[in-house]
């Protein structure tokens, strides 16, 4: 009997990327009828987090995982986190080669799937004559931009943020240069150089698996499939999202508190697994929540001038001590403040949750859509501004607060937007659109749904290779 087809998965360091590609691996195995096996080779910066380890312990026996030796940067390094993540993969290539050599002696290796920021690893796939795929955990709109960027790089001599007209990405809502992903905001920097290289590598892959579905991004997905652009095959297989991590930090407290609230009355406030605010912005957000008079559940992190400072590192400071004096006491009947983490999937699925003030990370966006929760868009870094434009201008499922001349969103503006979402007709209309997205997402995941059929065909192709 022929051995099962074996694929190797390479995520990039960072919790949000790991969880998405792990969920993809689980779904791929589920739809392969036992004819596929998966090995995850996980590059690491410093040491793996306890949460990452806990996730891997829940995997089925057909998915094996190995943390590769840690790559360390000195504390004094000025290398941006996004670049460190990619360099960690590049410096892990010798370990990946070694692992592939060992696997190939006893397995029928057929393909490698690498996260976008781990695409340097695909050189190892070519060396072993494996099919090479990129797993793209963000939106189809962002993928469209990434595939379009090499051409844009040749055509536009100036900084993109200085363009007077919006960029017309095939199939997408027009977007101004200032809202393009963070790595392309300075074309002279190292981050841009690395990001452009990743976008060029997309064109070299045998295909790209994107975590989206037709019901939420019909235009971009249709454009990605059109001939004439020279794009690789694109497989829309979303929504792929976590179903709950079993982490008990603050979990039971959050859910108990929500049980005592009126349906659709609570604004959930969280900036994802890595987002942070400055001290001034933290103060204004606190003021706005208090002024709104609306119920809130706020996941607070210690402030930082770097918007993604918690992306790889857990913070040791008690974040609650950075809140304005007396805030927790004054709002104890109005809201619940929890440090660093909450069970987001369960919170968004709770009937009391009526809105989500979010950084617009794609994982959080999909989790909101699949629970029909209206949004307040507050992007911080990466491609989040692009997602915010799509959610606000394109899908019209989010309100977006306006910043003042200092770049801060003031407390009164926060209060106004929250009230509009929870109490206004505008918020109810957004809720109806979100419910439509929820239904479309559920339909895509059914046995005959577009995303399930796409993933099954992908698995069939791997098994027969």
State the catalytic residues: 17, 115
Closest CA to 117 of 80, 87, 79, 78: 87
- Say if residues 264 and 350 touch (Cβ distance below 8 Å): no
The token pair at 2 is 């022929």
For residue 291, give the nearest of 424, 413, 377 by alpha carbon. 413
């Amino acid at each position: 009997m022929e051995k099962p087809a074996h694929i190797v998965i390479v995520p990039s360091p960072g919790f949000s990327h790991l969880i998405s590609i792990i969920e993809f691996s689980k779904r791929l195995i589920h739809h392969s009828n036992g004819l596929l096996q998966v090995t995850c080779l996980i590059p690491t910066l410093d040491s793996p987090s306890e949460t990452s380890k806990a996730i891997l312990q829940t995997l089925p026996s057909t998915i094996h995982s190995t943390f590769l030796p840690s790559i360390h940067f000195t504390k004094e390094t000025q290398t941006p986190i996004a670049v460190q993540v990619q360099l960690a993969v590049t410096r892990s290539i010798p370990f990946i080669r070694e692992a592939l050599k060992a696997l190939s002696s006893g397995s029928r290796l057929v393909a490698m799937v690498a996260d976008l920021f781990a695409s340097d690893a695909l050189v190892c796939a070519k060396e072993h004559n494996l099919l090479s795929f990129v797993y793209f955990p963000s939106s189809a709109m962002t993928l469209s931009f990434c595939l379009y960027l090499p051409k844009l790089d040749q055509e536009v001599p100036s900084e993109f943020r200085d363009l007077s007209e919006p960029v017309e990405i095939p199939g997408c809502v027009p977007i101004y240069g200032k809202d393009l992903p963070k790595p392309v905001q300075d074309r002279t920097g190292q981050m841009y150089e690395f990001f452009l290289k990743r976008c060029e590598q997309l064109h070299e892959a045998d295909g790209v698996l994107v975590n989206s579905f037709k019901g939420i991004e019909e235009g971009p997905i249709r454009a990605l499939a059109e001939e004439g652009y020279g794009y690789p095959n694109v497989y829309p297989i979303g929504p792929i999202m976590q179903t709950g991590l079993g982490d008990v930090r603050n979990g039971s407290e959050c859910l108990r508190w929500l049980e005592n609230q009126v349906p659709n009355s609570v604004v959930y406030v969280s900036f994802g697994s890595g987002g942070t605010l400055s001290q001034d912005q933290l103060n204004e957000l606190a003021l706005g929540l208090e002024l709104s008079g609306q119920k809130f559940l706020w996941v607070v992190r210690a402030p930082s001038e770097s918007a993604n400072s918690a992306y790889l590192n857990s913070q040791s400071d008690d974040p609650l001590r950075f809140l304005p004096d007396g805030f927790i006491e004054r709002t104890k009947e109005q809201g619940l403040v929890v440090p660093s983490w909450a069970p987001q999937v369960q919170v968004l699925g709770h009937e009391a949750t009526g809105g989500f003030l979010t950084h617009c990370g794609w994982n959080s966006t999909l989790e909101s859509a699949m629970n029909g929760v209206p949004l307040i868009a507050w992007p911080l870094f990466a491609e989040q501004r692009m997602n915010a434009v799509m959610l606000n201008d394109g899908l019209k499922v989010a309100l977006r607060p306006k910043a003042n001349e200092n770049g801060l969103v003031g407390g009164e503006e926060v209060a106004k937007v929250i009230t509009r979402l929870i109490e206004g007709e505008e918020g109810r209309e957004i809720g109806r659109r979100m419910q439509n997205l929820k239904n479309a997402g559920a339909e895509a995941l059914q046995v005959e749904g577009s995303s399930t059929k796409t993933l099954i065909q992908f698995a069939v192709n791997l098994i027969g290779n």
